[in-house]
Structure formats: structure tokens, C-alpha cells
A and B are shown apart, each in its own frame.
Chain A
């Protein structure tokens, strides 16, 4: 069994930031990622990020991704790609399959940053080829440079739905419409304005009844709903599409944490079931930390800051030093993001998680 100081599971923005921060403090870091290339979902974010200069506002997601990868390389951080962590066992033991070989590791500290998965939405015909997650479509067009369809229906008007609709226009597709079951859009008005300006309609209080097609998507039936969200069937409309994207939220990928016996809570504004963690990002299991979308669905910018926080907390613990000043800076930047109509609810949920941690977790 190989013994490591810090093992980070997941090389997205949170994992990369945690690795960089911990390495800078002299911690021996091993970063594991199951993909051929780290970066998580960063490389498909071809739009400019919001925020302040410190948050790298105005910079495109993939540019930020490249900067993080360069820093990881310069710091000489040990990275295992093509490595699937299948088990998180007692006493911080990790089971990983690296290129068909089983390896057992033991770590003093572990940061789990496995991100999230898109939520499904079931409707008649949803299993047909041509129905996929909006993030999946984004991966196809921006990473793989392939259009999975030409005429698109987008389900969901949160930021993912609106942004991917715009990116579909950039990729040369025809977005026939965005449908939203609520009476208002879920994402930013500026994202909606960007696509409306080019003729993409956004239908409110509308749902999908069916994806049509024999072997693949050939059309869809959409339908307005009443105040109780019941479809008003006589007003249903058939539309000609070959691609249906589902953008109805993300859920943290908690599997490894379930295995490890972490305690959980439920926070609807953060994506549902999330693990309890304290102000240092440590879960209820000693030595296991979390960061990024796994600890609550937010954004790439918050994922990076949480990664830094976890990395610094682990470094404090392993080095027996205090990095309070830097942690305060990170917390300040995190709070800058959790304000306003969109951010406030997340800030409150995060505070509740920390409070619940201290109530339920005995030292």
C-alpha cells in the first residue's frame, strides 16, 4: 500500500486549485482524475466569466483552465490521469484503477472534488438518441467539435440552458426554442437577452410532453401549463427538432462520500443532498475534505476558491502552521460571489451546512 500525504480526487477547477495551494505550502500532492486530461468542466466554458478582476472576470473558462494546468505543471504536481477511484475506505484508504491496474493508496488527508452530474428529466421518448444533457451537448460542441443535432429544443432556462443555447448558435445550430416550466426564467436576464436578440424564443410556463421519433429524435411536443403545472393539452404544439437538451440542474456526485460514511444534509439551493462540512471544508469523516460543486452547486469561480480553502486547511494540518491570513482572503472572495439575488440563497445554505456540522459532528 502506497502512503501519500494528500490525495486529491478529481482534477477540475476545485481539485486543481487545491493541489496548487497545498503544493505551494510544501505538501506532497497526488492528484487523481479519471479522464485523459484534467480540467473538469472548465474547458467547455467558452464564455467570459462574471465577477471582479480578482475573479478573472471577462476571461473565458478554457483560458482559466489552461492557466491552472500550467501552474500544476510548473509546480511539478504528481498527476495520475485515466485513474478511476472506485473506493474510499476506512482510515483514508483509497482504491484506484489506473490503466487497468488496481492500486491501493493510503493518505493522511484526502480532498474529494468529484463535481456533479446533470439531472435527468423523464418524459415520453426521453431515452431516444438525440436527447441528452445540456452539459453533454456543450461537451460535444466545444470539446469534441461535433454538433449532435441541427435543430434544438432546450429544456430549462437556468444559466446552463441559456448559455448552452447561445453556444449552440455559435456552433452553427438552430435553436428553435427554450422552454421553462416556471413563469420566469431561472438564469440571468443578460444571458436570455443574448439569445433573444438572435431570434431564439423563450417559452415560459411550458413543458415537454414527448420526444418524437422512431429510432432517434425527429420532433417534440411542447405544451403550456396552468398554475398547478398541469399541461393544457389543447394548446400543445409540435415542433421540428432533432436534438433535445435537458438543463434542469446538477446534483453533487456523492458516491465516494457515501462509501466513506460522511454525514449529509439537504439543501435545495445547492443541488440537493450535500455532505456536511466545517469552515475548513472538512467533512464529518476525519481527514476527508471536499470542494467545488461536490460541496454545493455553484460556479467555477467558487469551486476554485473552495479548492484553495481546502488546500490551505490541509496544509495547515499537515505542516502544523496557520495560514489564517490567506484563508481569510479566500473567504472574502467567496463571499463576494455569494451576494445579490442569485448568490444570497447559496450563502445562507452554506452557513447552515457549517452550523449543522458543528451541531451533529462530535470531535
Chain B
């Protein structure tokens, strides 16, 4: 599996030590580290297609990466439209593609 993480950096030094956890992307197990955002984990694994558009089924990925444009939204643990570029991962988290605005898989209250 590809790994696009930057382990050594001339200014920032070595990548910080963090606890290894697991998340699931469309059912597939991925290695993540505590503190990473969902989109970072996916991009680190070479996964850049995050969702499909409603009408034409076009792939979308991150665009602004700071939680402003909502291009990166995915369905997380059953809740749609979660901004993956600013949401941190949790052990066992289930992340899925969504089409358009997605569907609520469970109630959040």
C-alpha cells in the first residue's frame, strides 16, 4: 500500500510519534494515527476520491483543506456531510463514500 506521509522534513524534522489506530474506508481497513484528520489518512494511503456528485456521479476530493468549501464531505459512522479535512480520526471509525448530500444512516440524538 502506498504511503504518502512525509516522515522526514528539513524544517519540521521527524514526523511526531503518535498512537497507531484503525479506521475503515468503505469497509477496508486503513492504518491511521491519533490526531490525523480523516482526509489526511485517506490521502496518505493514496486515496484522493472522497465522494461522488448527485447528478453526474463525478469524483471529488479536497479543495481548501481548512473546512470552508465542503468538497471533502463523507459519511462518517452513519452521519453524512462530515468535513473530513478538519475532522480527526477515532479508533474504529467507519468512513464511507457518499453520493450528493448522502443519507442519514442513524439518528444523532
In the complex, is A directly touching B at CB under 8 Å?
yes
A residues with CB within 8 A of B? 34-36, 41, 46, 60, 117-118, 120, 127-133, 135-137, 139-142, 144-148, 170-172, 215-216, 253
Give every chain B residue within 8 A of A170 (Cβ-Cβ): 9-11
Give every chain B residue within 8 A of A128 (Cβ-Cβ): 59, 61
- What's the least CB distance linking A109 to chain B, in Å? 26
B residues with CB within 8 A of A? 4-7, 9-12, 15, 36-37, 39-40, 43-44, 48-50, 58-69, 86, 88
Give every chain A residue within 8 A of B10 (Cβ-Cβ): 170
- What's the least CB distance linking B78 to chain A, in Å? 15
Would B5 and A133 count as touching, CB distance under 8 A?
no
Give every chain B residue within 8 A of A253 (Cβ-Cβ): 68
- What's the least CB distance linking A160 to chain B, in Å? 13
Task: Pick the contact of A145: B6, B66, B69, B88 (CB < 8 A).
Answer: B6
Would A132 and B61 count as touching, CB distance under 8 A?
yes
- What's the least CB distance linking A92 to chain B, in Å? 24
| In the complex, the 6 A-B pairs of residues with the closest C-beta atoms, listed nearest first | A129-B61, A136-B65, A129-B48, A144-B40, A139-B65, A46-B11
Give every chain A residue within 8 A of B5 (Cβ-Cβ): 145-147
Would B65 and A133 count as touching, CB distance under 8 A?
yes
Cα–Cα distance between A216 and B43 once the two chains are bound (Å)? 12
Q: Output the nearest chain B residue to A126 by Cβ-Cβ distance.
A: B63
Would A117 and B64 count as touching, CB distance under 8 A?
yes
Known: A35-B86, A128-B59. A135 touches B64 (CB 8 A): yes
Would A129 and B59 count as touching, CB distance under 8 A?
yes
- What's the least CB distance linking B85 to chain A, in Å? 8
Task: Pick the contact of B64: A36, A132, A144 (CB < 8 A).
Answer: A132
- What's the least CB distance linking A357 to chain B, in Å? 27
Would B64 and A46 count as touching, CB distance under 8 A?
no
In the assembled complex, 5 residue pairs joining A and B whose CB atoms fall closer than 8 Å, in A order, are A46-B11, A130-B61, A133-B63, A144-B39, A215-B59
Give every chain B residue within 8 A of A136 (Cβ-Cβ): 62-66
Known: A148-B4, A170-B9. A127 touches B64 (CB 8 A): no
Give every chain A residue within 8 A of B68 (Cβ-Cβ): 117, 253
Known: A144-B40, A146-B44, A147-B4. A171 touches B9 (CB 8 A): yes
Give every chain A residue within 8 A of B69 (Cβ-Cβ): 117
Would B6 and A130 count as touching, CB distance under 8 A?
no
Give every chain A residue within 8 A of B60 (Cβ-Cβ): 127, 129
Q: Output the nearest chain B residue to A145 by Cβ-Cβ distance.
A: B6
Cα–Cα distance between A92 and B61 once the two chains are bound (Å)? 37
Would A36 and B62 count as touching, CB distance under 8 A?
no
Known: A129-B48, A145-B15. A36 touches B4 (CB 8 A): no
Cα–Cα distance between A362 and B66 once the two chains are bound (Å)? 37
Known: A36-B88, A117-B68. A171 touches B48 (CB 8 A): no
Known: A128-B59, A129-B61, A132-B62. A146 touches B86 (CB 8 A): no
- What's the least CB distance linking A42 to chain B, in Å? 12
